[in-house]
Structure 1
Amino acid sequence: MHLHKIFYALVAIHTVQSYNMYQTYKLKSPLKLTNGFRHKTIILPKGSVVTGLNDGTGNLQNIDSTTLSIKNQKKVFKKLGNWHLSFAMIKNNDGATQPYTRNTSFSINSLASFPQLSVKKAETQYDLAATTLPFISVTADNQLAYHSHGGIYQATRYAKIKKFKRTHSTITYYLSDPLKGVTTKRIKVGKAYQYRLNFKLGHVFQNRDSYNGDAGGYDITVNSDKQAFLMM
């Protein structure tokens, strides 16, 4: 089974939602979004690529702000503030009627192909670690984004994914530039250089409750050369 399928098969097992957050869509019309307080709004333009939870009848209930293109991210965070999920202002919005069908470093078969991964540190034995630890994600415009704090959702810095490869157990990205916080290998491609980054599934470990240290759920290690991340 391919790496991205393993990622999201595991996610699907642990969700009660029939329509998951990792499906990708291309908006057929502008989509008005709001934050949790519903007193600020912004409109994503027609053609924007998004991931989000749909209601089963073709309407988006929310979108994941961290997977938006960098351009759309900047608009959303500037207007709505620091929200991981932005919410559809209008219930019947048809936002989930047009799957995003291009196969890219961001999406394959209309499914987001790379999860949010937290940097693995000693704190990751606890179940709330992702609220503070740095994390990486892939955006709709094929950027690898680094977020310096788990509770701040706008990308801190990012690099363009020039090409990618998938095998049965790995995903390899070739970046346009090095990305601080992520270990890459500089390789020559023609007369220029790219920065290679490999991801491979590692071991599964049990985390602990942040409050009393009791055994909790399970997380998956994702190895990248000498660096480790985890999918929580």
Structure 2
Amino acid sequence: MVTRAQQIGVVVCLAFVTALTILRVSDPPLLRLARDLTFDQYQRLVPRTFENQPVRVIDIDEASLHEFGQWPWPRNRIAALVNRLSDLGASAIAFDILFAEPDRLSPRNVVRDVTGIDPSLLGKLPDNDEIFARSLSGRPVVLGFGLSNAGNYLPPVKVGFAYTGESPFGAPPAIRAATPLQPQLEANAAGLGHISLNPGASSAVVRTVPLFLSDGKQLYPSLALEA
């Protein structure tokens, strides 16, 4: 025979489980914050073991700026970097830099701003974006694109995706628009990948990085995945 105390215990347990279920399903901000802080503490207590991978970061550091001058560098220098890395046998070269505007340091653009210059002379001057574009051609170079809240431009997808079963287009974070790259650079790059670390996240701490974004019709890979 079930006693009244046992009945009360069952009711209390069911109420407790129901409250926890509702709390988890609703996932209030305070609960998400507690979960994130706990995750961060785990990383501090037991960080991931370092494993040497065949990946190298070419860093634009203080020594580089001291030798070559302030950033941005002219893109013919970036082209020389691509040439050098290709000569060294790089399997893939990925730029987490947004090449959206024309190179303002290009001789053609510098002279164009000079009052009274003969327009016929402009075509004879070198254009750093064209030099950079030629260095990309035929090489495994991936350029990054950024997300935008304005416009409707989306970059071309240079890879194919295969999937079985349910469509994956509704699962990744949404992409509405992107910042256009310089056309000749976009055309000559072997791949394009997004460089937004945590789109849609309110926290400045990066805990996850989506491999894909989606506009509901197409998948857009991250820079790392594309590389």
TM-score, reference length from structure 1: 0.25
TM-score, reference length from structure 2: 0.26
Point out which structure has higher relative CO (alpha carbons under 8 A, 6+ apart).
2
More helix by share: 2
